Amino acid sequence: MKIAILGYGKMGKTIEQIAINRNHEIVYKTSSPIEVEELKKADVAIDFSIPDAAFNNITTCFKHHIPVACGTTGWLDRYEEAVKVCKEENGAFIYGSNFSLGVNLFFQLNENLAKLMSKFDEYKVDVEEIHHTQKLDKPSGTAITLTESILQHTDNKSWKLIENNEEVSDKEIPVVAKREDDVKGTHTIKYASSIDDIEIKHTAHSREGFALGAVIAAEWLHDKTGVFTMKDVLGL
Ligand SMILES: NC(=O)C1=CN([C@@H]2O[C@H](COP(=O)(O)OP(=O)(O)OC[C@H]3O[C@@H](n4cnc5c(N)ncnc54)[C@H](OP(=O)(O)O)[C@@H]3O)[C@@H](O)[C@H]2O)C=CC1
Ligand SMILES: O=C(O)C1=N[C@H](C(=O)O)C[C@H](O)C1
């Protein structure tokens, strides 16, 4: 496939290496607003840019009928708008807050655990994410996906970002975001009671899992139209 990489930063560069190893050709890579004539050389685009750029990048892809896999986080307030444009343009779109196989399995584990724990009021849940200090958004997209899934399966009503030990109400899930040197991405879900704690945790050791998942998603998407998630790609 001919691939356009929108956002040639830490992830864009890792994606380039993995795509080349899988015999794809990178026909366009940019860290600036899209030049349409360059984009049109591609069969598929992969966006790992910045929160302020993702919506324009992906809707430009829809308008020019280039399928797009987007991993950029921190722009999700415009997700429904993006889906609408995709449908109007008969485009192809997959958004994943986290493209790694391990995290997508962890999403399933989190959902199953939330269903089980919803029957036991004595346990209070919290979510913690740790990332490198260059990350622009907080909490991480992955932490938001995990928390939204817990909300769907429990009596909790909303979540709250905790930065300075803020209080939370009984029905709020605290989401703690920490920034430490070069941490690639660590997510922990903890159910705590006065007697014991139950925790599940995913630790990324490198960016390769995210990048491989994104390339696999782009391969899967490139001949389709519609709006998809990694559950569709992985058959979960
Ligand atoms: N879904 C997933 O699996 C994963 C998602 N992510 C997400 O991917 C995104 C990128 O992460 P990462 O690579 O670490 O970040 P980086 O900051 O390393 O890369 C972002 C790149 O986007 C560039 N950029 C700025 N404006 C535009 C624009 N208009 N169009 C295209 N590119 C632009 C930046 O350029 P400049 O530096 O010049 O501003 C930079 O090169 C983040 O939102 C992150 O949360 C990260 C890992 C996994
Ligand atoms: O910015 C990152 O690095 C990461 N961002 C994604 C997120 O916000 O969840 C995925 C991964 O954790 C790495």
Alpha-carbon distance of 132 to 129, in angstroms, equals: 10
Q: Are residues 180 and 230 in the same domain?
A: no
Pocket test for ligand 2, best of 98, 104, 110, 127 (most atoms within 8 A of CB): 98
Give the total number of structural domains in the chain: 2
pLDDT in tens, 218-233: 999 999 999 999 999 9
ipTM above 0.90, yes or no: yes
Q: Are residues 132 and 167 in the same domain?
A: yes
pLDDT in tens, 127-185: 999 999 999 999 999 999 999 999 999 888 899 999 888 899 988 999 999 999 999 99
Q: What is the DSSP letter of 89?
A: T
- Phi and psi (nearest 5°) for 188? -130, 135
Please state whether the peptide bond connecting residue 51 to the residue before it is cis, i.e. omega within 30 degrees of 0.
no
139 CB less than 6 Å from ligand 1? Answer: no
Q: Are residues 107 and 197 in the same domain?
A: yes
Residue-number span of the structural domain to which 10 is assigned: 2-99+208-234
Residue 47 alpha carbon, nearest atom of ligand 1: 31
Pocket test for ligand 1, best of 11, 136, 229 (most atoms within 8 A of CB): 11
Ligand 1 centroid–CA 127 distance in Å is: 24
Q: Give the pLDDT confidence score for residue 32 in this predicted structure.
A: 98
Q: Are residues 141 and 196 in the same domain?
A: yes
Q: Are residues 230 and 197 in the same domain?
A: no
Q: Are residues 116 and 76 in the same domain?
A: no
Q: Are residues 8 and 32 in the same domain?
A: yes
Domain of residue 57, CATH code: 3.40.50.720
Domain of residue 189, CATH code: 3.30.360.10
The beta-strand segments (E) located in the chain are 2-6, 25-30, 44-47, 68-70, 92-95, 124-131, 158-162, 172-179, 186-192, 197-203, 226-228
Q: Are residues 135 and 82 in the same domain?
A: no
Question: Tokens standing for 17?
Answer: 């290496």
Q: At a CB cut-off of 8 Å and minimum separation 6, what does 20 contact?
A: 26
CA–CA distances in Å: residue 132 to residues 15, 33, 37, 50? 19, 25, 35, 15
State whether residue 75 is helix, strand or coil: coil
Q: Are residues 11 and 75 in the same domain?
A: yes
pLDDT in tens, 38-89: 999 999 999 999 999 999 999 999 999 999 999 999 999 999 999 999 999 9
Q: Are residues 93 and 35 in the same domain?
A: yes
Is pTM, for the whole model, over 0.95? yes
Q: Are residues 212 and 194 in the same domain?
A: no
Q: Are residues 91 and 175 in the same domain?
A: no
Among all residues, which ones are annotated catalytic?
Answer: 131, 135
Q: Give the pLDDT confidence score for residue 156 in this predicted structure.
A: 82
Q: Give the pLDDT confidence score for residue 165 in this predicted structure.
A: 85
Ligand 2 centroid–CA 36 distance in Å is: 27
